[in-house]
Structure 1
Amino acid sequence: MTALPTQSTGETPLFGPESQFRDFFDDPRWALAIIRATVLEAAHPQVGAALVDNSTFLAHPWRRLRNTFLSMRRMFDADPVVREREAARLNRLHARMSGSDARGRPYDAMDRATRAWVVATLFESAVTMCRMSGQPLDQDTMERMYAEYRSYLAALDGDAGELPEDLHDFWPYFDRVVENELENTEAARVILYRLFDHLPAPVLFEGTPTLWAAGRAVVGPLLGAITVASLPEPYRRRAGLTEIPGAATLMQGAYLAAGLTRFLPQGWIDAESIIEVVSLRPDSDDPRARTVAALRSRMKRASALLRLLTPLSGATDPWAAPEPSAGSGESRRSAEEFFRQVLDQTGDGYLDWPDLAAMARELSTRLDLDEPAETRLYDAFAAWWRELQAALDTDGDGRVSAEEYAAAVPSLAGPALIRVAEVLFDATDKDGSGTIDADEYRSLFRTAFHRDLTVTDGTCGRSAFVSDFLSFMSGRRTNTPYDPLLADA
């Protein structure tokens, strides 16, 4: 077994604020590099199959981005306890992902060589982004950063043996995988050509579908072209990816422009704050919510003006957030909307176990559950899936189509769903008091406690919580706390 990377006393720490990774944490270039790395990951047959079957990156990309960002921050935390806890969580998550791709080839998210490739793409894309932006890394910095990423892999796998020990040997390894193993997978194609074109609006842009669609129509193709141009030429050739004329120049310009932000005062760009603001709901008790509400109001006015200027846009964008209805804050979704926005978490047009597993995964991540509580939640969702499959899978293909769901128009509040609500309540009630207080409520919903505090004394009891959860899942009501929990992009 290869030993974990080590460092002598006095050297720059491999984790924490002084690590090379943290130097790139708030770097705008990293946004371009992470897209590139994700495509290279998805081009690996094992990763691509796991993404298509299990990931919510298509239907809920912003939620996936936030969770990935949080995970990376934990994995590079200075506190080894934080790193070990997150590594254990990731391993439990990946252990639940296995199956076969469309060609019958098995995949396993715990495959050590595949996990090493994911880490390799992150390292290589960071090196590439520096080179493309005119700031190539010196050899010492590159070697230190490589040691950090090997330590990251070691924290997950117990050792970093699947990556070459020496940086000099890494480049032949990387080239070999690119030339011999990567494919034009469905997941890679979705990221390059479908995700950007249909990227749903984040919370900040809800209620402004015209403005969001207009901006996306310009930025989406540009990001796709930049990403394709940045990929290794052997993979572009194997995958048949056509590079648009001028895309290389555009890519270079994008990286150079992003690199100019290094001249801004330190602290002006904070990735964590940006992600928080983009996903912050105006009804949150976060102090920044008032600013977010003001921004949304201005964007709604801009969106209304844009609609006046483009009256021939009659088609409805299925990926845009619906305009809020007038009157009270609560309305009903159609069965089709509920299926697409809530039940079909993976965005493949069907309801099956990976969709419910994605719900359990999101809830477990929000609450930062330990293994026993996480397992109870997954087991409850698995029982609910068996109940749904028995009631709705009329053709026996092992999944529920939108048509099967709409035709049945079922009440989903069966015994198994009640059990899900009860287990979720217990997981949220961290102190076991029998009620959910404001802090516990905020951990789950990331927003303020909305109940009448003079009546509930700032707490939510089990029966009220279960009732609200069932009302949402069976009555398909919108604008409840559960809406951003499971339906946000």
Structure 2
Amino acid sequence: MSDAAPGSMLHELTRQTRWGLVATRAIVLEAAHPQIGAALITNSTFVAHPWRRLRNTVLSAQRMVDPDIRVRQREAARLNRLHARITGTDAEGRPFNAADSEARAWVVATLFESTVTMCRLSGESLDGPVLERLYAEFQSFLTLMDPYGGKLPPTLREFWRYYACVVEERLENTEAVHVILDRLFAQVPAPPLLRDRPAVWAAGRALAGPAATAIVVASLPESLRIRLGLAELPGTRTLMHAAYLSTGLATRLLPEAWTRLDTVMTMLDPAYTPAGPRTPDGLRVPDGLRVPDGLRRGMAKAGALLRLLTPYPETAATAPSAAPSAAPTAVPTAGDSAVRSASRFFSEVLDQTGDGHLDWPDLAAMAREIATRLDLETQDEDRLFAAFADWWRELQKELDTDGDGRITGHEYAAAATALAGPALIRIAEVLFDVTDTDDDQVIDAREYRSLFRTAFDHDPGDHDPGDHDPGDDDPGDERLTRGEFVRRFLGFMAGRRHSRGYDRMFAQA
């Protein structure tokens, strides 16, 4: 993908905050495609964990346009492996596959068309040569993802005919579209900076959620809006133009560091550390993703100030539920505050899709998250998915008491603390093997911290001032044998052991 060199349009766009407008609009257009909509509704965690999904999407997009061809090829191969595992049938019995070439071409088409729409609504003129250049970059993007499959039309004139044809003849009023528009913006959980201040977040979301939905709806093709039954309320078009114009002006007038996407993500999560793909010398963080230490410290202080200025939330025993749809949680007993109940562990960690049940898509999502964060090689990734698949079969055999093919929180909580089957042990062993970089069958403190810093964006030795349980996942100078590492992991997966590092991997919204 020669067009991905520094200075290319895609290389610059994917690092701008306003790229969020493109991604948000595109995901709605993608969700209306029957293949993509079915994959999203049955396998995706974007509703239950939108901030985590945003983080992964941003990092993946930036790797796909990295100047280093090896980075681009590695990321494309990783995406191909993960997408090939997302298969099934929709509610009408039609098969879907996330690696389908037609669907992949539509994903890239929506990103290109949404980029053009963003520029137009932001007051930027894309003349003929510039538009041709941008289209060529997106064509190269698709070629990298699917070299032997889907293709975009060769010319822009043909592309616009193709785009209109898909909108008119292929897109449907899918469940995924309405989940995104009706639930995602209205119920999106707080970002890490505001996670312990649900009232503050709820107040802001009550204003921003409907506005975000209105902006997206107003920007969709009119014929699609009508087919989806989405009414355009008075004033929403003006609101949409204002949103796009303001982001365009901010990008052109403000210092570049203020409008970078990683800057905004750091504001939302002071612990956010974008991680690049591995190189022979270890993990490399692309220059465009480095976040100034001063900014990170400043956002951490802002979070501490917010905690001081807002009331501390009531305890789980007395406070009204901030998320009525969440499964009820048990109040830890005295002297055992660091140990979460199995039912709470089920709702916060295992139920990745947020539908209240545990089935294969939930465990597949956990496997994808581990593989993504650790940037696993093909062999280790295959071992991990195989172990998760075996664990799912073990869970079904032991816990699916009514035989409906899924596990409820009650079924899990009733027996979870006794679960330590061979499949779960194999999952832990994959983690041990990729962490034990010197292959001495012992994980020292450096390797342990490297695991959490690399995979979980967390330093086991750094604790927030308000954290009253320091050291729960910090080995200090301890050296962990394979057995001890496995024991700790099994304790976490059974809900018996609290670990902030693993929490960041699995439970972070």
State TM-score, norm by structure 2.
0.86
CA RMSD of aligned residues (A): 2.9
Percentage of matched positions with identical amino acids: 52
Shift of 1:446: 1.8
Aligned residue for 2:263? Answer: 273
Cα deviation 1:101-132 (Å, max 9, x = unaligned): 01111111111111000000000000001111
Residue 99 of structure 1: SS of its match in structure 2? strand
1:316 to 311, 322, 332: 322
2:301 to 294, 298, 301: 294
User: d(CA) in 1 for partners of 2:369 and 2:473?
Assistant: 28
2:425 to 384, 393, 418: 418
Shift of 1:433: 3.2
Shift of 1:367: 0.9
| Contact 1:153–1:159 (8 Å) recurs in 2 | no
| Contact 1:367–1:443 (8 Å) recurs in 2 | yes
Is residue 168 from structure 1 mapped to residue 157 from structure 2 by the alignment? Answer: yes
Aligned residue for 1:381? Answer: 388
Aligned residue for 2:29? Answer: 40
2:63 to 64, 70, 74: 74
| Contact 1:209–1:303 (8 Å) recurs in 2 | no
Shift of 1:413: 2.4
Aligned residue for 1:310? Answer: none
Cα distance 1:64–1:390, how it changes in 2: closer, same or farther (>3 A)? same
Q: Which stretch shows the higher mean deviation, 243-252 or 262-271?
A: 262-271
1:96 to 85, 100, 104: 85
Is residue 481 from structure 1 mapped to residue 488 from structure 2 by the alignment? Answer: no
Aligned residue for 2:280? Answer: none
Question: 1:48-59 maps to which residues of 2 (within 5 A)?
Answer: 48-59=37-48
Residue 88 of structure 2: SS of its match in structure 1? strand
Shift of 1:429: 2.4
Shift of 1:231: 0.5
Q: Which stretch shows the higher mean deviation, 453-462 or 216-225?
A: 453-462
Q: What is the count of residue pairs matched by the alignment? A: 471
Cα deviation 1:26-83 (Å, max 9, x = unaligned): 3333212211001001110100000111111111111111111111111101111111
Q: Which stretch shows the higher mean deviation, 434-443 or 340-349?
A: 434-443
Residue 295 of structure 1: SS of its match in structure 2? helix
Is residue 19 from structure 1 mapped to residue 8 from structure 2 by the alignment? Answer: yes
Cα distance 1:319–1:217, how it changes in 2: closer, same or farther (>3 A)? farther
User: d(CA) in 1 for partners of 2:159 and 2:387?
Assistant: 44
2:458 to 447, 456, 460: 447
Cα deviation 1:456-485 (Å, max 9, x = unaligned): 547544233222211111134445321111
AA in 2 matched with 1:296: G
Aligned residue for 1:234? Answer: 223
Shift of 1:281: 3.7
User: d(CA) in 1 for partners of 2:474 and 2:52?
Assistant: 33
AA in 2 matched with 1:197: A
Aligned residue for 1:248? Answer: 237
Cα distance 1:283–1:82, how it changes in 2: closer, same or farther (>3 A)? closer
Shift of 1:22: 2.2
AA in 1 matched with 2:77: A
Aligned residue for 1:124? Answer: 113
State TM-score, norm by structure 1.
0.89
| Contact 1:283–1:289 (8 Å) recurs in 2 | no
1:342 to 345, 349, 352: 349
Cα distance 1:305–1:377, how it changes in 2: closer, same or farther (>3 A)? closer
User: d(CA) in 2 for partners of 1:136 and 1:413?
Assistant: 60
User: d(CA) in 1 for partners of 2:421 and 2:166?
Assistant: 48
| Contact 2:32–2:173 (8 Å) recurs in 1 | yes
| Contact 1:393–1:399 (8 Å) recurs in 2 | yes
Q: Which stretch shows the higher mean deviation, 424-433 or 69-78?
A: 424-433
2:126 to 137, 141, 147: 137
Aligned residue for 2:487? Answer: 467
| Contact 2:257–2:263 (8 Å) recurs in 1 | no
AA in 2 matched with 1:192: L
Is residue 264 from structure 1 mapped to residue 254 from structure 2 by the alignment? Answer: yes
Shift of 1:333: 2.8
2:20 to 28, 31, 41: 31
Cα distance 1:461–1:282, how it changes in 2: closer, same or farther (>3 A)? farther
| Contact 2:342–2:417 (8 Å) recurs in 1 | no
Residue 183 of structure 1: SS of its match in structure 2? coil
Cα distance 1:248–1:453, how it changes in 2: closer, same or farther (>3 A)? closer
Cα deviation 1:299-343 (Å, max 9, x = unaligned): 223432999xxxxx9553247999x99998953334432211111
Shift of 1:265: 2.2
AA in 2 matched with 1:304: P
Cα distance 1:283–1:173, how it changes in 2: closer, same or farther (>3 A)? closer
| Contact 1:26–1:270 (8 Å) recurs in 2 | yes
| Contact 1:229–1:243 (8 Å) recurs in 2 | yes
Cα distance 1:75–1:337, how it changes in 2: closer, same or farther (>3 A)? same
AA in 1 matched with 2:88: G
Runs of 5+ unmatched residues, structure 2: 275-291, 462-470
| Contact 2:391–2:424 (8 Å) recurs in 1 | yes
Cα distance 1:278–1:462, how it changes in 2: closer, same or farther (>3 A)? farther
| Contact 2:472–2:499 (8 Å) recurs in 1 | no
AA in 1 matched with 2:347: R
Q: Which stretch shows the higher mean deviation, 435-444 or 55-64?
A: 435-444
User: d(CA) in 2 for partners of 1:358 and 1:224?
Assistant: 26
Is residue 429 from structure 1 mapped to residue 440 from structure 2 by the alignment? Answer: no
Shift of 1:408: 4.5
Cα distance 1:93–1:239, how it changes in 2: closer, same or farther (>3 A)? same
| Contact 2:186–2:205 (8 Å) recurs in 1 | yes
| Contact 1:196–1:224 (8 Å) recurs in 2 | yes
Residue 189 of structure 2: SS of its match in structure 1? coil
Aligned residue for 1:148? Answer: 137
| Contact 2:198–2:322 (8 Å) recurs in 1 | no
AA in 1 matched with 2:195: E
Q: Which stretch shows the higher mean deviation, 430-439 or 39-48?
A: 430-439
